[in-house]
């Protein structure tokens, strides 16, 4: 019997940074249309696992399949949206919340980066989902930690990818933002 390839499958994954084995022979299946939590102590390899799934890290051995595809193929097909644990943001750079969320649409815009009505609508929907509509024109340098994290979650939502990976979405985040992010993830899973 052949199994459905839907979801994320990691098999026998080993990742080394020099001499350090960050992951050793890790096997995980993440099924679609549900919220799955990954829990572990600091340094246990959670970020390494997510980075391997999105193809930012090349494993020493093992396989990663997203709906049956390799990480690079999955990225080309917009199967994966990703919110990294830490984002190298220049808070002084004059960019608004809306600008950051629009970055989630780059993959839809082709190389001309022409913004279409569908892009604007996806950005508006994402901002609404994380309660940032009122702050859309604010510079990111003037956001709280929770608001900034919600901005990155909104960018990920605007991408309209199939699977969303969030690395420590509640770190440094206020309770209200945590509730908002939790609700969004549950709603998306309930909607399939």
d(CA 64, CA 10): 5
Residue nearest to Mg ion (CB): 47
* Chain centre distance of CA 151: 12
Candidates 2, 4, 20, 112; binder of ligand ADP (CB under 6 A) is 20
Question: What is the nearest approach in angstroms of ligand ADP to the Cβ of residue 153?
Answer: 18
Nearer to ligand ADP, 8 or 22 (CB): 22
If one asks whether residue 46 binds ligand ADP (CB under 6 A), the answer comes out as: yes
If one asks whether residue 48 binds ligand ADP (CB under 6 A), the answer comes out as: yes
If one asks whether residue 47 binds ligand ADP (CB under 6 A), the answer comes out as: yes
If one asks whether residue 85 binds Mg ion (CB under 5 A), the answer comes out as: yes
Candidates 7, 10, 47, 140; binder of Mg ion (CB under 5 A) is 47
DSSP 73-105: HHHHTT-EEEE-SS----TTS--BHHHHHHGGG
- In terms of residues, how long is the chain? 192
Buried b (16+ CB within 10 A) or exposed e, 155-180: bbbbbbbbbbbbbbbeeebeeebeeb
Phi then psi dihedrals of residue 167, to 5 deg: -95, 110
Question: What is the nearest approach in angstroms of ligand ADP to the Cβ of residue 40?
Answer: 5
Residue with structure tokens 């609508």? 121
If one asks whether residue 45 binds ligand ADP (CB under 6 A), the answer comes out as: yes
Instruction: Tell me how far CA of residue 8 lies from CA of 32, 81, 109, 121, 181, in angstroms.
Output: 8, 13, 26, 29, 22
The candidate with the shortest Cα–Cα distance to 191, out of 19, 34, 20, 30, is 34
Question: What is the nearest approach in angstroms of ligand ADP to the Cβ of residue 95?
Answer: 27
If one asks whether residue 169 binds ligand ADP (CB under 6 A), the answer comes out as: no
Candidates 2, 19, 42, 112; binder of ligand ADP (CB under 6 A) is 42
If one asks whether residue 44 binds Mg ion (CB under 5 A), the answer comes out as: no
**Residue 86 interaction partner, one of Mg ion, ligand ADP, none, beta carbon < 5-8 Å per kind:** none
Task: Summarize as ranges the residues that interact with ligand ADP (CB under 6 A).
Answer: 17, 20, 22, 40, 42-48
Task: Summarize as ranges the residues that interact with Mg ion (CB under 5 A).
Answer: 46-47, 85
């Amino acid at each position: 019997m052949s199994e459905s390839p839907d979801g994320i499958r990691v098999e026998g994954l080993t990742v080394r940074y020099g001499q350090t084995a960050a992951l050793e022979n890790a096997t995980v299946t993440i099924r679609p249309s549900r919220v799955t939590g990954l829990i572990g102590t600091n340094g246990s390899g959670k970020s390494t696992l997510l980075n391997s799934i999105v193809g930012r890290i090349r494993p020493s051995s093992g396989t990663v399949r997203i709906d049956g595809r390799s990480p690079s193929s999955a990225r080309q097909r917009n199967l994966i949206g990703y919110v990294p644990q830490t984002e190298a943001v220049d808070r002084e750079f004059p960019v608004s919340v809306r600008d950051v969320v629009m970055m989630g649409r780059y993959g839809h815009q082709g190389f001309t980066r022409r913004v279409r009505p569908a892009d604007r609508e996806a950005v508006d929907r994402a901002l609404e989902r994380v309660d940032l509509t009122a702050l859309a024109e604010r510079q990111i340098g003037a956001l709280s930690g929770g608001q900034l994290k919600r901005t990155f979650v909104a960018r990920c939502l605007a991408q309209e990818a199939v699977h969303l990976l969030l690395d420590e979405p509640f770190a440094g985040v206020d309770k209200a933002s945590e509730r908002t992010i939790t609700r969004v993830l549950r709603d998306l899973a309930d909607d399939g």
